[in-house]
A and B are shown apart, each in its own frame.
Chain A
Amino acid sequence: MSNKGEKILRQSRSNRFVHWGAAVSIFLLIITGLGQLPLYKRYNVTNIPGAEWLGSFFTTLDLHYIGAAGLLFVVFYHLVYHLVRKEFDIMPRKGDMKESYFIIKAMLTKGKEPDSDKYLAEQRIAYLFIGVNVLLLVFSGLIKVIKNVPDVVLPSGVVFWATQIHNLATVLLIFGLVGHFAAFLIKENRKLIPGMFTGYVDKEYVKHRHSLWYARIKEEKETSKPAKINLSHSQKVVGH
């Protein structure tokens, strides 16, 4: 094959920064957030050497604030960046639920998948699910931060519901992340992994799995003048 080894830029530096920034801060937030429940001592986690600090509510809360500052930075960066550039490739579209079903069915039966754009339908749905939960956590978390400021009194109803939403969204986010990791149990999806490290994925993979996206990139390359400004930097074909 003539184009074997060729790569396509899938995740820009900005996207990689957002993904890993969110990953690290969410990991810290989950670990320290669970520490706000009296959980680590009860279930003997603090008996593990090196994990004693998890038993201190104050240490874990300080770290939770630091994680929150990191996540808030990343979330607002992400939202503003893509709004300014008008990039909405990952937003769910009409018919995504049905399409996801066909993709999963094809994966299981080794049949033919429907043609996909830059993101698969289930990736767009997963993004929305995780995104909505992160936003719920961010806003309920901000209310909880303000509540902790000395001499501020919020109505008990506001604090109560912010707390319940924060706790529920945490559980849902953990489910979402389990789903995110589980996606890599499927061999086909693993081709996407280098995209989040180097930014590039195999051209052959894009060609057969993301044919709609590939067609767009090709078209842009041929017209040399990109139709949409936002595509000029995020997609590029390079020789390996």
Chain B
Amino acid sequence: MSENISRRTFFKRSTAAGALGVLMATGLGKTAKAQDTNSTKNIGSVIDLTKCDGCQNEPIPLCVSACETDSKSHFPEPQKPLKPYWPQKFFEDWSEKRNIKNRLTPYNWTFVDKVTVEHNGQREEISVPRRCMHCDNPTCQKLCPFSAIDKKPSGAVSIDPDVCFGGAKCRDVCPWQIPQRQAGVGLYMKLAPDLAGGGVMFKCDMCSDLLAAGKQPACQTACPKGAIKFGPKVEIKKYAYERAKEVNGYVYGDKENGGTSTFYISKVPFEKIHQAIINDKKANKDDKPGRPGMPVGVENYLDSTNGLFLSALIAPIAGAAAAGFTAYRTLKGEKKDE
């Protein structure tokens, strides 16, 4: 597969190379590396909307129930009574609503969205399994103020429930607002639960325990249609584009947020699916996170910080140079430093 390097990719890589250069100089270079999304260790997944029917004959889609079975041991068991996030009057509690399976919650890390879209003069029922996209440069992981989120060598983005303070910043900076919060659990309960913190954020961790054991994530194993497939990302990506070509369709997730490890395939343009989700949410007066849209080409904020990154790296050199120059002149007596 030929790879076209866009200007943006070139700039991204140059900046990454510059950053690694700095690390080499500081001795940290040995431990840092540029992300190799072509490594076979890097896991990607395909979600084929031409195959998924949302398990029409099942009360709950099988990927959703399998996810619950596998993740149950990680579900939060909050200490009650829960307290509002002072001075706010609310708190986020899903512990009594564990049976909600039509959106993302701390107790439901994947769900199948269902929308009707008109395409080529036909009304199509589309089922869209949703969960964390496991971004290549996850804004949640990079911007977590406590570094509670890890990007594993597999590419899985995983939240450490022992470090998470539940501020929900990860949800705010995620283009899909994926992580969901449960109050009454986590580190903040041991510190100042009345004043700070909000619980722990939960989301799909790509079944890291199963992957580590050489098995496939639960949603793939449970899917009766073969609509979900995990594998080496480089192969998955190739397959996704081939399959999209085959069905004369589209891929979602390759470019979004600067690249993710999830590739949706659809015959219907994702712009239409996105609009249908937004419209349906509006109609249902649902403005809460947990039912994300599919904004096409959504950008990664971190791509825009490259210029600022360079100025932060040049500043110490410029400061040292200015000092050397000024000190030299004053020592020589050319200039008085008053």
Contacts and interface: CB of A to CB of B under 8 A. Distances in A.
B308 A62 contact: yes
A75 interface: yes
B12 A81 contact: no
B222 to A, nearest CB: 30
Interface stretch (B30-38, B51-59, B223-231, B239-247): B30-38
A14 interface: yes
A90 B108 CA distance: 59
B173 A160 contact: no
B337 A13 contact: yes
B309 A145 contact: yes
Interface stretch (B18-26, B204-212, B283-291): B18-26
A64 to B, nearest CB: 9
B125 interface: no
A154 B32 contact: yes
Interface of B is mostly: helix
B172 interface: yes
A23 interface: no
Interface in B138-182: 142-143, 145-147, 150-151, 163, 167-169, 172-173
Contact of B319 (A57, A72, A145, A163): A72
A153 B319 contact: no
A77 B322 CA distance: 7
Given A84-B331, A159-B147, A151 B323 contact: no
B137 A151 contact: yes
A179 interface: no
Given A36-B145, A78-B323, A84-B328, A149 B312 contact: no
Max count, chain A CB within 10 A of own CB: residue among B305, B323, B324: B323
Contacts of B173: 57-58
B16 A152 contact: yes
A228 B13 CA distance: 50
A149 B143 CA distance: 11
Contacts, number: 178
Contacts of B309: 65, 145-146, 148-149
A107 to B, nearest CB: 30
Max count, chain A CB within 10 A of own CB: residue among B20, B163, B337: B337
A209 to B, nearest CB: 22
A70 B326 CA distance: 18
Nearest to B8: A150
Given A151-B12, A153-B32, A233-B337, A57 B315 contact: no
B258 interface: yes
A143 interface: yes
Contacts of B258: 150
Given A146-B23, A152-B19, A152-B20, A36 B312 contact: no
19 contacts: A12-B337, A14-B326, A14-B337, A36-B143, A38-B145, A42-B87, A68-B315, A69-B308, A73-B315, A76-B319, A77-B323, A84-B323, A85-B331, A142-B22, A146-B23, A148-B309, A149-B18, A149-B306, A150-B300
Interface of A: 9, 12-14, 36-39, 42-44, 57-58, 61-62, 65-66, 68-70, 72-81, 84-85, 142-143, 145-156, 158-160, 162-164, 167, 199, 229, 233-234, 236
The 6 A-B pairs with the shortest beta carbon distances in the complex, nearest first, are A76-B319, A38-B167, A65-B308, A80-B323, A73-B319, A72-B315
